[in-house]
Structure 1
Amino acid sequence: MLPISSLRSSSSRRAAQQAPSVPVLKYLTFRLGAEVYGIDILCVQEIRSYEEPTRLAHAPEFVKGVLHLRGVIVPVVDLRLKLHCAEASYNAFTVVIVLKVQDMLLGAIVDAVADVVALQDDAIKPAPRFQGAVDTAFVRGIANVDGGMLIVVDIESLLSPAEMGLLQQAGQPESVP
């Protein structure tokens, strides 16, 4: 388990030294395959090393199961599968980010946690909108960080209301085998 306060980055220190007139928000960055994503640090409860969750029968493929976390049943989703990325194998860098989403805890499996970055709100540019098959509703925007692209995710938009309902049910103690 890695406490969030221990994550520091040079870019967040540089941003803290500046006196921006635009609000600055911090994002935990993580990798899914070759892409780097960011999520609002205020949603992050903790980062845990990967452990195999208890599988739930008839759950969608991206729902890997549940974990028991200090008396709380936490549903776990694999973000690679949810975002239709090529599936990578679980290894020593794979982690579960425990998030607070709509008053519930949710575990998100990612390839690796990278850093915490501070971004001014105007540094996040709107994501391009594609008609048809590409759903970018969960993408808050895209930022250029240290010469690379950071996809800023709105975790509450990533899961549909039906999926959130399913995960809330999974978090109930009576649904665990």
Structure 2
Amino acid sequence: MTMNQEENHQYLTFKLDDEVFALGIDKVREVLDYTSVTKVPQTPDFMRGVINLRGSVVPVVDMRLKFGMAKTEKTVNTCIIIVEINLEGETTVLGALADSVQEVLDLEPHQIEPAPKIGTKLRTEFIRGMGKRDEQFIIILDIDKVFSSEELATVQMTSSNAH
């Protein structure tokens, strides 16, 4: 499979705690205001539950918990980013809980550096690189790699059980 040369350079940035993260805009379906999430028993901590998105059950993941931060507290800015994840050829839709969405920005490949191997609490395999904007680092996520297939299997079971 060859990578499309016209690769998307637009990213949606969002905050978790004091860190700014970014997702390729091609992965983002929409951004919702925080709505109540139905808790599902026996799911991992970072799975906050499910929401009903126009008749589909969409699992919601707390990105802060996933990255070892404190649980997301609901504020006026808390939102759910609906993303499409590609895993082993399957597309899974899930909601990523974020403290706030910042903006859509353009980052050219030369503005993105590889992820540092040390000094970050995050596992680096799901970081596509570090963007820089006005002296602030932006951690660019490879959302397809943030969740392992086992974790997403739980998520998929959650959504199928909820029907």
Question: TM-score interval w.r.t. the shorter chain?
Answer: 0.7 to 0.9
CA RMSD of aligned residues (A): 1.8
Q: What letter is aligned with 1:45?
A: R
TM alignment of 1:22-171, pairs within 5 A: 25-102=9-86, 103-130=91-118, 135-171=123-159
Partner secondary structure for residue 105 of structure 1: strand
- Alpha-carbon distance, 1:33 to partner: 0.4
Asked whether the 8 Å contact 1:29–1:114 carries over to 2, the reply is yes
Deviation of the 1:71 alpha carbon: 1.3
Check the 8 A contact 1:30/1:115 in 2, yes or no: yes
Q: Is the 8 A contact 1:23 1:120 kept in 2?
A: no
Amino acid at match of 1:74: V
List gaps (5 residues or longer) in structure 1.
Answer: 1-21
Deviation at 1:87, TM superposition (A): 2.9
Which is strand-richer, 1 or 2? 2
Aligned partners of 2:65 and 2:72 also within 8 Å: no
Q: Specify every segment of 5 or more residues in structure 2 that has no aligned partner in the other structure, as ranges.
A: 1-5
Work out which of the two has the higher radius of gyration on C-alpha atoms and give 1 or 2.
1
One-letter identity of the residue aligned with 1:34: D
Change beyond 3 A, Cα 1:122–1:87: same
- Note closer, same or farther for the CA distance 1:74–1:135 as it changes in structure 2 (3 Å cut): same
Large movers: runs of 4+ above 3 Å = none
Q: CA deviation at 1:84?
A: 0.7
Q: CA deviation at 1:146?
A: 2.2
Indicate the percent of aligned positions where both proteins have the same amino acid: 34
Cα deviations by residue, 1:14-48 (Å, 9 ceiling, x for unpaired) = xxxxxxxx966100000000000000001111100
Separation in 2, partners of 1:71, 1:121: 38
Using the size of structure 1 for normalisation, the TM-score is 0.81
